[in-house]
């Protein structure tokens, strides 16, 4: 009987499979973390502006506000979103012709 040190072929294969499975878990976990969802502050601000526009239209016979400042003046909106606000940074803008607040994307960069 010879005394051999080392691993059998089956032990090596099992070890390689375990390392492969762990590597796959890590890769998919990192990929999931890198995909980001919408910015909640931006989404909330967009929703707030859109609700204010809808309320203004209801109060004013389906007339669109000329500017978002009208929504502040009528106390439907606390402040006009600036270019530095979450929705402003995301590219949203108000179109008085259509009465829409759009053109942006609240996804994280």
pLDDT tens, residue by residue, 14-66: 999 999 989 888 887 776 666 566 788 898 999 999 999 999 999 999 999 99
Q: What is the mean pLDDT of the chain?
A: 86
16 and 62 inside one domain: no
Asked whether 39 and 33 are in contact (CB, 8 A), the reply is no
Number of domains in the chain: 2
Angle at CA 13, nearest 5°, toward 12 and 16?
Answer: 85
20 and 62 inside one domain: no
**What is the span of the domain harbouring residue 68?**
40-102
1 within a domain of the structure (yes/no): no
31 and 44 inside one domain: no
Report the predicted TM-score, pTM, of the whole model to 2 decimal places. 0.65
Task: Mark 30-46 as b/e (b = at least 16 C-beta within 10 Å).
Answer: eeeeeeeeebeebbebb
Q: Give the sign of the dihedral formed by CA 51, CA 82, CA 102, CA 33.
A: negative
Show the tokens assigned to 89.
């940074």
Q: Averaged over 84-99, what is the pLDDT?
A: 92
Residue 18, pLDDT score: 94
Better-predicted residue by pLDDT, 2 or 51? 51
């Amino acid at each position: 009987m010879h005394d051999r040190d080392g691993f059998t072929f089956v032990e090596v294969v099992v070890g390689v499979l375990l390392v492969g499975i762990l590597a796959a878990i890590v890769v998919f976990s990192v990929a999931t973390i890198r995909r980001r969802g919408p910015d909640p502050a931006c989404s909330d601000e967009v929703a707030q502006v859109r609700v204010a526009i809808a309320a203004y239209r209801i109060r004013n016979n389906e007339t669109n506000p000329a500017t978002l400042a009208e929504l502040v003046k009528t106390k439907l909106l606390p402040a006009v979103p600036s270019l530095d606000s979450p929705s402003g940074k995301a590219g949203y803008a108000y179109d008085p012709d259509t009465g829409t607040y759009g053109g942006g994307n609240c996804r994280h960069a």
